[in-house]
Structure 1
Amino acid sequence: MKKIVIGCDNAAVDLKQTIIAFLKAKGYEVENIGCDSILDNTYYPYIAEKVCNKIIESNYEKEGILICGTGIGMAMTANKFPGIRAAVCHDNYSAERAKLSNDANVLCMGARIIGPELAKKVTAEWLSLEFADGNSTPKVNAIRELEERNMAAFSKV
């Protein structure tokens, strides 16, 4: 069973708790990074950083779920980390394509966009799939190539 690292900002505490309960009921091992209170003003980039670092430390064995108001800020932050491919998904089709076409290892959702029942369905869809070698492999490899090139170029600055 996959190991999931999950985090949110204070805009998404309730949805995160719903998703954690859903995942645990399905037998997933869940590591909660925070935040756990609407009074916690930790900025979402710092939560995304913690989740991404846990994924990287696991040698990409773990996958992540990040939730904020829209999912956009979390995705933008997560995609700054090497080997992280985060996608905002608010429907099953985008969750399917994120995994099958783009090998997304972080699912991002917006608590102000998606309701809890749909969020559970999107999460289930995303987790049920595995990226497989196929037509999208050269595109995902191109993402990796650009990431490596840009990381190397910017590390010299």
Structure 2
Amino acid sequence: MTKETIALASDHGGVELKTLLARHLESLGYAVLDLGTDGAQSVDYPDFAVAMAEALKEGRATRGVLMCGSGIGISIAANRFAHVRAALVHDAYGAKMCRQHNDANVLVMGGRTVGPEIAKDCLDLFLQTEFEGGRHARRVAKLAENGER
């Protein structure tokens, strides 16, 4: 029995990390929705951020993980959508805090900047950490108010 469906997407700079994290998620009992890419050929990261935003909006996944070489470009692209709260993280503390204080629904990492074991730790914390609510809920609500126009 699967816990939930997690969408994964990356450009060519994150494809190796995406493959590793897909296997990790499956070993934990999660269903994986792989939105691409599948190889080293150069592709455009905004296309995969859009695919993630659509998957979340349509309910095909509850949360997501995005990767590009640094994580920067794909996080900028993903955060253009009001229903996406994508957090670029490099360590366990960031992964925990993006959920606890920001209710992030998309974890972003750099395929060329975050090693495999740290990436798995970040993903585990992202999935295990609950949103704290309270004073943070007011702030997260403001993010939605200032979203797409």
Matched to 1:9, the amino acid is D
Aligned-pair identity (%):
35
Cα RMSD of the aligned pairs, angstroms, is 1.3
Secondary structure of residue in 2 paired with 1:34: coil
Give the TM-score of the pair, scaled to structure 2: 0.94
Structure 2 CA distance for aligned equivalents of residues 116 and 142 of structure 1? 34
Structure 2 CA distance for aligned equivalents of residues 97 and 15 of structure 1? 22
1:135 shift after superposition: 2.0
Structure 2 CA distance for aligned equivalents of residues 137 and 125 of structure 1? 20
Divergent runs of 4+, >4 A: none
Structure 2 CA distance for aligned equivalents of residues 145 and 68 of structure 1? 28
**Structure of higher CA gyration radius:** 1
Deviations 1:9-53 (A, max 9, x none): 1111111110000000000010001001002x2201001110110
Question: Who is 2:23 aligned against?
Answer: 21
Matched to 1:6, the amino acid is L
Structure 1 CA distance for aligned equivalents of residues 117 and 96 of structure 2? 17
Structure 1 CA distance for aligned equivalents of residues 131 and 6 of structure 2? 17
Question: Who is 1:2 aligned against?
Answer: 4
2:47 equivalent to 1:46: yes
Structure 2 unaligned segments of length 5 or more: list them: none
Give the TM-score of the pair, scaled to structure 1: 0.89
Structure 2 CA distance for aligned equivalents of residues 67 and 10 of structure 1? 9
1:146 shift after superposition: 1.5
Matched to 1:101, the amino acid is H
Alignment partner of 2:39 out of 37, 40, 45: 37
Structure 2 CA distance for aligned equivalents of residues 104 and 64 of structure 1? 10
Structure 2 CA distance for aligned equivalents of residues 49 and 146 of structure 1? 19
